[in-house]
């Protein structure tokens, strides 16, 4: 496995990944998943310093990357800048160059503005891993979602995945659509009109009008988090109404027990998802979180091996 490499020496968006890249990442994740279970330790990043550069608050993604890096014996440092110091583009690059000059080689970056990881990658000889930028991309989430499907079904190709809920504001949706299509899944969308892109054909995914139709069609329901902030902006009339028509209910799954349920978390139970579904056998939400750590170990190891 030593000579295999990702086609790009960084991870900015799911659209950059080839099927060969994904195979390599999934194989490496399988490796870590199996060997970690047996209590093995990993030295892949011994002597490598990984900076967690989060300009947006994050709990899950940051912890997941942090645990992944530590399991590979990396040193991790955390750099959490106030947005205020970012008014000038130069200062962001200057900060990057300063951290880089200290010998940091890998950067896990989250930023509220789309495109920041690309901008940083263009200005460093280090490795950027995009941990979410604005509404643009969240490629490690897409990878862990597809990996979870791969482990559950044995393959992603040909799966019918319906993405449900707050699609227009979601970097997760964008990245999932891109990767699922690369891997040969069929993707549809189900959401109220105000939570869909204005140009409904922009991502080339059919729209399914009702949850009932989605349940009938899909192998997988991938439910998104409804950002509470959306309410205040007047995009939705009320949470109750959203929940009535687009909240996924327990009955949807008793009707079709083989249907798989996924959600990137954290879940607004009672809004986009019935709480009783959290213990439903084919609810893979916890599995997604578990796989997230192995996917990130795989990426850090593959991208960090030549540093």
| Chain residues in the site for a second copy (CB under 8 A) | 36, 39, 41, 46-47, 49, 59-60, 63-64, 66-67, 70-71, 75, 77, 79, 81, 90-91, 94-95, 97-104, 265-267, 269, 275, 278, 286-287, 289-290, 292-293
Q: Which is nearer to a second copy, 106 or 205 (CB)?
A: 106
Residue 238 vs 279, nearer CB to a second copy: 279
Helix (H, G, I), strand (E, B) or coil at 203: coil
Residue closer to a second copy (CB basis): 214 or 223? 223
CB of 201 to a second copy, least distance (A): 36
| Nearest residue (CB) to a second copy, 237 versus 266 | 266
Q: Hey, what long-range contacts does 195-200 have (CB within 8 A, 24 or more apart)? A: 195/165, 195/166, 195/167, 195/168, 195/169, 195/230, 195/235, 195/236, 196/167, 196/168, 197/167, 197/168
With respect to a second copy, which residue has the nearer C-beta, 231 or 267? 267
Q: How far is the C-alpha of 275 from the C-alpha of 120, rounded, in Å?
A: 40
End-to-end CA distance of the chain: 17
Taking the least distance from each CB to a second copy, the nearer of 250 and 275 is 275
Token reading at 92: 């962001």
Write down the H helix ranges in 110-195. Answer: 116-121, 139-153, 171-182
In whole angstroms, how close is the CB of 101 to a second copy at the nearest point?
A: 4
Q: Which contiguous run of DSSP H or E holds residue 64?
A: helix 60-71
Task: Pick the closer one to a second copy by CB: 140 or 182.
Answer: 140
CB of 63 to a second copy, least distance (A): 6
| Nearest residue (CB) to a second copy, 9 versus 265 | 265
CA 146, 148, 153, 155 dihedral sign is positive
Q: Of 62 and 136, which CB lies nearer to a second copy in the complex structure? A: 62
In the complex, least distance from residue 78 CB atom to a second copy, rounded to whole angstroms: 9
Question: Using alpha carbons only, what angle is made at residue 162 by residues 17 and 197, rounded to the nearest 5 degrees?
Answer: 80
Tokens standing for 87?
């008014």
Least distance in angstroms from the C-beta of 125 to a second copy: 12
Query: Least distance to a second copy from the beta carbon of 53, Å?
Result: 11
CB of 57 to a second copy, least distance (A): 10
> What is the nearest approach in angstroms of a second copy to the Cβ of residue 217?
29
CB 184 within 8 A of CB 235: no
Residue linked to tokens 């929940």: 243
Query: Is-contact 203 163, C-beta < 8 A?
Result: no
Q: On the CB side of 56, how many CA atoms lie within 13 Å of its CA?
A: 17
Query: If you search the block for the tokens 């893979």, which residue do you land on?
Result: 284
CB of 207 to a second copy, least distance (A): 31
Beta-carbon contacts of 171 under 8 Å, excluding residues fewer than 6 positions away, are 132, 133, 134, 135, 136, 137, 138, 141
């Amino acid at each position: 496995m030593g000579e295999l490499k990702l086609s790009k020496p960084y991870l900015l968006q799911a659209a950059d990944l080839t099927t060969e890249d994904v195979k390599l990442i999934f194989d490496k994740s399988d490796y870590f998943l199996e060997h970690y279970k047996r209590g093995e330790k990993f030295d892949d990043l011994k002597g490598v310093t990984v900076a967690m550069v989060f300009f947006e608050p994050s709990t899950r993604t940051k912890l997941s990357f942090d645990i992944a890096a530590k399991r590979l014996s990396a040193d991790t440092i955390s750099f959490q800048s106030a947005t205020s110091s970012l008014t000038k583009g130069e200062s962001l690059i200057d900060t990057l160059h300063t951290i880089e000059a200290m010998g940091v080689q890998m950067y896990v970056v989250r930023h509220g503005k789309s495109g920041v990881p690309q901008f940083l990658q263009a200005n460093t000889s280090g490795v950027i891993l995009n941990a979410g930028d604005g509404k643009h991309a969240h490629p490690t989430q897409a990878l862990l979602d597809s990996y979870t499907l791969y482990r559950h079904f044995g393959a992603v190709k040909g799966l019918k995945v319906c993405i449900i809920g707050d699609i227009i504001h979601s970097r997760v949706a964008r990245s999932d659509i891109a990767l699922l299509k690369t891997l040969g899944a069929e993707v549809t969308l189900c959401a109220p009109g105000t939570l869909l892109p204005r140009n409904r054909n922009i991502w080339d995914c059919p729209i399914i009008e009702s949850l009932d139709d989605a349940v009938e069609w899909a192998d997988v329901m991938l439910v998104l988090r409804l950002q509470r902030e959306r309410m205040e902006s007047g995009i939705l009339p009320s949470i109750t109404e959203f929940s009535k028509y687009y909240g996924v209910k327990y009955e949807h799954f008793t009707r079709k027990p083989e249907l798989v349920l996924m959600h990137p978390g954290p879940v607004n139970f009672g809004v986009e998802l019935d709480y009783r579904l959290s213990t439903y056998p084919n609810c893979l939400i916890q599995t997604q979180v578990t796989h997230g750590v192995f996917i990130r170990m795989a990426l850090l190891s593959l991208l960090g091996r030549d540093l």
